[in-house]
A = this chain, B = another copy of it.
Amino acid sequence: MENIITLDYGSGGKKTSELIDNLIVKKLSNDALCALGDGAVLSGCDRLVFSTDSFVVSPVFFPGGDIGKLCVCGTVNDVAMSGGVPKYLSLSFIIEEGFPVSDLERIVDSVSAAARKADVSVVTGDTKVVERGRGDGIYINTSGIGFLEHGNLSPRNLRTGDKVILSGTSGDHGAAIMLARNKNLVEGEILSDCAPLNHLAEKLYSLGDGLRVLRDPTRGGVATTLCEFVEGTPLSIELSEADIPVLPAVKSACDILGLDPLYCANEGKLLAVVSPECAKEALEIMHGTEEGKNAAVIGEVTDTHAGKVFVRGIFGSRIVSKLSGAELPRIC
């Protein structure tokens, strides 16, 4: 590790893993934390699921959402990806002196609307204010509690032949934020996909053990999440580039900005790995929902390149690894 924290440590990629593994988890070790899921599954009391996320997205308002909508969806989705039905949220603000009260109202309205859509209640909160120049408008932490409904979701369940399904187009949120920061670069507007996925996830729980793992590919995108699934295992994942849904506008924006949609953050998409037998049913479930209407099988679990993810394109195959460096700082 380096001596100082750089933006790379917040990227959700290699450096973030390094920081978490070498410093935080080592010192605070316990079974729930070491599982390193998006949320912790806790023993006792009907098996609780508990998750936390701080949001520092910049800009605070962006096409398709704002930090208020994002903070609800992000935490709700983490609980849902852990197999829990989210129920309660906490909401904690760190506000910079001088922040407009009208913006705060807009944000709280978004929190309220997103919580209603996800069927969760904000039950506790906190507000801190820091001096001008010691923050950036507003940062929000949401923590969430849910009750476990599917108790066996883990990358450890992956088997050769399993199908990898993405619930919709890749990279919308990341592209929307980058465009919001570089307004004159590309014509038109890309909307963040920011949405609660808990209702979709709950439908997928019905697949039982055929549903191996769920994860929302946020920071680091689809590529980083899939790398985490097979890292250190004898398995590999083979993606078919032609099958990965990407909006044309996102593709163009990524080309201009020098980004890859596979590394761009999503905030309303999930990756589901399912048994070959369940793939058709899983796709049907997704296609029957608004959030999953563009779902597609994008790849398969293989055992040809232990621990690697690679993409088959028209010009051959390339290996994709975890995001290295802070390609997209403060995306969430």
The interface residues of chain B lying within 8 Å CB-to-CB of A98 are 4-6
Which residue among A5, A20, A329 has the maximum number of chain B CB atoms within 10 Å of its CB?
A5
Name A125's contact: one of B48, B52, B93 (CB within 8 Å). Answer: B52
Asked whether any CB of chain B lies closer than 8 Å to the CB of A24, the reply is: yes
Cβ–Cβ contact A48 & B136, under 8 A? no
User: How many copies of the chain does the oligomer comprise?
Assistant: 2
Query: Which size bracket describes the interface of A in this complex?
Result: 35 or more
Complex alpha-carbon distance, A225 and B244, angstroms: 56
- Contact A4-B52, Cβ < 8 Å, known A28-B111, A46-B45: no
- Contact A50-B129, Cβ < 8 Å, known A4-B98, A23-B108: no
Cβ–Cβ contact A101 & B1, under 8 A? yes
Cβ–Cβ contact B56 & A130, under 8 A? yes
Complex alpha-carbon distance, A52 and B141, angstroms: 9
CB distance from A184 to the nearest CB of B (A): 22
Asked whether any CB of chain B lies closer than 8 Å to the CB of A97, the reply is: yes
Asked whether any CB of chain B lies closer than 8 Å to the CB of A53, the reply is: yes
Asked whether any CB of chain B lies closer than 8 Å to the CB of A285, the reply is: no
Cβ–Cβ contact A124 & B45, under 8 A? no
Complex alpha-carbon distance, A120 and B117, angstroms: 33
The interface residues of chain B lying within 8 Å CB-to-CB of A16 are 127
Name A94's contact: one of B33, B45, B94, B111 (CB within 8 Å). Answer: B94
Cβ–Cβ contact B52 & A104, under 8 A? no
The interface residues of chain B lying within 8 Å CB-to-CB of A111 are 27-28
Contact segment of A84-92, A292-300, A313-321: A84-92
The interface residues of chain B lying within 8 Å CB-to-CB of A188 are none
Name A56's contact: one of B33, B91, B94 (CB within 8 Å). Answer: B94
A-B contact pairs, 12 of them (CB 8 A): A4-B97, A5-B97, A5-B129, A10-B127, A27-B111, A28-B108, A30-B122, A45-B147, A51-B90, A52-B126, A56-B128, A141-B141
